Structures are given as C-alpha cells and as structure tokens.
C-alpha cells in the first residue's frame, strides 16, 4: 500500500459511522432454485413457468421497487402461479431458500459493538413484514435499521437509495460502509459517496472491515 493509500485509508477509518450489509448471498446463501421448486410443488407449475411469470416478467422487480403493497403482491403472485398461494406458503418457500451464514453474522455482531449497523436488501414489503420468520437472527442484529428497497420506492444500485438509508440513520453518505455480493450495487453505493466492498467470502469481508477500522484486525478468521 502506498503512503497516500495509507493516508486515505486512515481518513476513511476516522469518518465511518455506519456499516450497511446486503442480505441475500451475504448474510445468507439464497437458493432461488429451491424456492421455485417449493412453489412448483404447491402450484403444479413447471420451474421454467414460475421463473418467467414471477422474475423474468418484472413482477418481482416491481415489488422490490415498492410498487406493490404486501397484499397486492401476494395476490398477484398467486394469480401468476394460477394457484391461491397463502401468505404462510409464500413465507415457507422463501425461508427454505435462505441458509444463514454464521461467520458473516458474527462479523456484523462484532461491528455492531463499535457502531450502528443496517441492512439494505432489494426486496418488497412482505419480506420486511415476515423477516422474523424468514431470518430470525436479523431483527436482534439490526432492529429498526432493517430496510428493504420497497420502503424507499427505488432499488439498488440507484445511488439515491444509499443516500436515503444514510439519512434515515442520521449519517452522511461518506460516513457509511456498504457491502453487497453484486458489483453493480457496490458501484451504486460508491457513486453515492459510500465506502464499498464487493462481498466474495467472510474472510474477504473481515479483511475489508479491519482495513477500515470497523473490526479488530486481531480477531481470528470467521
């Protein structure tokens, strides 16, 4: 690292006051295929039909962007499946597709001991309403700073959503760190002024957190 890079790193360490984490494929492994298989078993539709009707059609993206409240979303989901999907069935199919990552959750807890942490995920209102069932570890970690994109009427990587989260928490964008598994989402955060890290592994995240002073570098690898 050059001396200038070291100075820049020190400046970032001094100014960071918030750490924001993505959910799917960061805090948990998200298996959409498993979710679709569960929905197929319920509805009798093929996996390719469900993928087309829900995801490739843009329906899920509309929910993520806040265009649909949870009731309209669930009704529309069932209509597209041709099956009267209940809320409990939707939740269970989503839950089955999420495998928590204990190592990353431990990193979040360690960072939380130093500063506020928040979650920002591209998801709709129903995920927010059912998060305690979908991912029981998250409410205790993030509390009221558990945000889905629908709350802001826009999705990652729109730079405005990161600025909105920072404002909601009460920090400036340059005072926030953000990690996501999708490079485009990290690029959007950096465009908004946040310090970004593309998540690839718990160890890589731990290294980045330590670099920016959000985590004690003496901590053992997760």
Q: Assess contact for 189 and 196: CB atoms under 8 A.
A: yes
**Model confidence pTM above 0.75:** yes
Report which of 164, 219, 156 is spatially closest to residue 25, judged by C-alpha positions.
156
CATH number of this structure's domain 3-29+100-211:
3.40.50.1000
Q: Are strands 117-121 and 18-21 parallel, antiparallel or unpaired?
A: parallel
Digits of tens for pLDDT over the chain (222 positions)? 333 444 455 556 569 999 999 999 999 999 999 999 999 999 999 999 999 999 999 999 999 999 999 999 999 999 999 999 999 999 999 999 999 999 999 999 999 999 999 999 999 999 999 999 999 999 999 999 999 999 999 999 999 999 999 999 999 999 999 999 999 999 999 999 999 999 999 999 999 999 999 998 655 555
Q: Are strands 117-121 and 195-198 parallel, antiparallel or unpaired?
A: unpaired
**Do the beta carbons of residue 66 and residue 149 sit within 8 Å?**
yes
Please give the pLDDT value at position 96: 97
Boundaries of every domain in the chain: 3-29+100-211, 32-96
Secondary-structure percent of the chain, ordered helix, strand, coil, rounded to 5: 55, 15, 30
């Amino acid at each position: 690292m050059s001396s200038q890079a070291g100075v820049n790193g020190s400046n970032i360490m001094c100014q960071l006051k918030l750490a924001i984490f993505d959910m799917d494929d960061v805090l948990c492994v998200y298996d959409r295929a498993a979710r679709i298989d569960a929905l197929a078993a319920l509805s009798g539709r093929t996996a390719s039909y469900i993928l087309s009707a829900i995801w490739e059609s843009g329906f899920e993206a509309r929910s993520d962007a806040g265009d649909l409240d949870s009731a309209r979303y669930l009704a529309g989901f069932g209509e597209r499946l041709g099956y009267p999907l209940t809320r409990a069935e939707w939740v269970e199919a989503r839950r089955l597709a999420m495998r928590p990552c204990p190592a990353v959750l431990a990193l979040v807890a360690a960072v939380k001991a130093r500063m506020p942490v928040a979650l920002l995920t591209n998801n709709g209102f129903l995920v927010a309403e059912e998060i305690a069932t979908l991912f029981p570890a998250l409410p205790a970690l993030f509390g009221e700073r558990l945000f889905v994109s629908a709350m802001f009427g826009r999705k990652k990587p729109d730079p405005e959503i990161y600025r909105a989260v920072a404002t909601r928490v009460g920090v400036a964008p340059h005072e926030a760190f953000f990690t996501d598994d999708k490079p485009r989402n990290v690029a959007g955060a950096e465009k908004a002024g946040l310090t970004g890290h593309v998540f690839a592994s718990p160890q890589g995240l731990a290294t980045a957190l330590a670099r920016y002073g959000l985590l004690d570098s003496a901590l053992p690898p997760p």
